[in-house]
Structure 1
Amino acid sequence: MYNFRYVTEKQLSPVKNDLILIMNSVRAQLCKEFTFQFEFIGSAKRNMVTYDEGMNIGFDFDVNIQINANGIQYSAKDIRTKIRTSLDKIAPHFGYDHAEDSTRVITIKLKDKRNSKILHSADFAIVNNYIDKKGNKQQRYIRFHKKHSKYVWEKQPKKYYLLEKKVEWVRNEGFWNEVRKLYLEKKNRNTVPGKCSQSIYAETIHEICQKRGYYE
């Protein structure tokens, strides 16, 4: 059993403000090459950031970096490398370690080095929103294929859009408090090592939809 709880706005606010300053600095540093917008997504946007004091993972933020049209001329590798390099120059001034490059995101972590503990972290996904030939809104992201050391633009899977439709229905029907309660219960009961919060969140939404009468 775990002991996850929701992080308060008072705890989140100073960290979020620093991340905004970091992103604005990265944007200013790269503005002569390309521009981008950024937004907090996931648990930070939903006000569902969790934290278990007994674990060495801290709490985390998810941020989408949305590349504007003037950046698409660059390769996926160039875009991600430029952003990661800029983060490496700026984030340490706010106490963060150098950026880590993983499959879907670039991660920065702030640690209590004396006690070898992660206090919090931020995952940055680089995305591009566009309209396809059928007029549908789509999103792709830069994915790092480590095995081949290759960066590519990859479309979000179909389940990404299906989940958003379910979330919209749950909110509109007034069942969001049920989501918050069940999500925390599921995180604390989870017995699958390495199971990510996004998977638990998707399961929570699906279960509430089934319970309340929304079917695909």
Structure 2
Amino acid sequence: MFEYVSKTKYSPVRSELEDIIKNVQDELRGEITFRFDLIGSGSKKLITQEKGSNKGFDFDYNLVLQQGAFDFTAKEIRDKFMEAFNKALKGTK
């Protein structure tokens, strides 16, 4: 069973997620630029959580590649993103 989560409860988590993505943007800026869009139920502010659980929330983002993406293979792009996310996640909860 799922229940809706209040904005005051999910806002700090969403903010931290978006800070991480912005750090990835900064890390990749010289090679690849991208924008991110919250999609799915999160974009409609209909965040759910498993009732009585602390498993967290489900936020889905599209990362839309822009400049520089065609200069690399798919594997190179994946590797660059993984490296940037690993750096951005250091020191987070």
TM-score, with structure 2 as normaliser? 0.88
**Alignment of structure 1 residues 193-204 onto 2, 5 Å:** none
**Partner SS for 2:58:** strand
Cα distance in structure 2, aligned partners of 1:88 and 1:69: 22
Structure 2 match to 1:67? 65
| Larger Cα-atom Rg | 1
Name 1:52's counterpart in structure 2.
Answer: 50
More helix by share: 2
What is the aligned-residue identity percentage?
A: 34
Task: Tell me which protein shows more strand as a share of its residues.
Answer: 1
How is 1:113-152 mapped onto 2 (pairs within 5 angstroms)? Answer: none
Q: 1:31 to 1:17 in 2, by over 3 A?
A: same
- Partner of residue 87, structure 2: 89
Q: Which has the higher contact order (CA 8 A, sep 6+)?
A: 2
2-structure distance, mates of 1:17, 1:55: 21
CA distance in 1, matches of 2:68, 2:57: 34
Once the two structures are superposed, residues 89-132 of structure 1 have per-residue CA deviations (whole angstroms, 9 ceiling, x without a partner) of 1113221xxxxxxxxxxxxxxxxxxxxxxxxxxxxxxxxxxxxx
Which of the numbers 14, 17, 23 marks the counterpart of 1:16? 14
Alpha-carbon distance, 1:69 to partner: 3.5
8 A contact 2:49–2:56 mirrored in 1: yes
Residue 60 of structure 1: CA displacement? 1.5
> What CA RMSD, in Å, does the superposition of the two structures yield over aligned residues?
1.5
Equivalent residues, number: 93
Aligned to 2:39: 41
